[in-house]
Amino acid sequence: GADISARNIDTLSAQFPLCMQNLHRTLRRDAHLKHFGRLQYTLFLKGIGLNLEECLIFWRSSFHKITEDTFNKEYRYNVRHSYGDVGGDSNRRGGGYSPFSCQKILTEHPPGPGEAHGCPYRHFSLENLTTLLQGVGITDRSVLNGVKEDKESQKFHMACNRVFEHVHKNEIKKAKEESIMTSAQLETMVHPNEYFKRSYLLKN
Ligand code: SF4
**Residues 118-147: tens digit of each pLDDT:** 999 999 999 999 999 999 999 999 999 999
> Is the pLDDT score of 183 beyond 80?
no
Residue with CA closest to ligand 1 atom 4: 160
Q: pTM score, two decimals?
A: 0.95
Give the pLDDT band of residue 184 (cuts 50, 70, 90).
Answer: low
> Is the pLDDT score of 1 beyond 70?
no
Whether this model's ipTM surpasses 0.90 comes out as: yes
Q: Which position has the higher pLDDT, 181 or 156? A: 156
Q: Which residues of 91-113 are buried (b: 16+ CB within 10 A; e: fewer)?
A: beeeebbebbebeebbeeeebee
Q: Identify the residues whose C-beta falls under 6 Å from ligand 1.
A: 17-19, 102, 105, 119-121, 156-157, 160, 192, 195
Residue with CA closest to ligand 1 atom 7: 192
Residues belonging to the chain:
204
Cα 187 to averaged position of ligand 1 atoms, centre (Å): 15
